[in-house]
Amino acid sequence: MGDHEAPSQEDIERFSSVTRTCPHCKEDVYDDAELCYHCGEALVQADKPLPIWVAAAAVLVLLGMLLMILR
């Protein structure tokens, strides 16, 4: 079959619970909760904007492609 490893004890403990700890108030909340029902803290990370270097690299690649097409 495959060379699959069994999950480590750490993974079993980390992923077998239906709850997780709120990073803000340290209380247990359900895994699928978006807000902590103890303190109201958002548990889902908001989308972060792209770093400026990613946008700059994309512009440079597009400009390079455009120059190659126009040659």
Q: List residues bridging with 30 in a β-sheet.
A: 19
- Whether 4 is covered by a domain: the verdict is no
> The whole model's pTM is what?
0.41
DSSP assignment of 4-35 equals PPPPPHHHHHHHS-SEEE-TTT--EEETT-SB
Give residue-wise pLDDT tens across range 4-22: 777 777 877 777 778 888 9
In which domain, by residue range, is 18 found?
9-70
Number of domains in the chain: 1
- Whether 2 is covered by a domain: the verdict is no
Helix, strand, coil % in the chain, rounded to nearest 5:
35, 10, 50
Give residue-wise pLDDT tens across range 19-69: 888 988 999 888 888 889 899 988 877 566 778 999 999 999 999 999 999
What the block records as the tokens of 52 is 């400026």
- Whether 22 is covered by a domain: the verdict is yes
- Whether 15 is covered by a domain: the verdict is yes
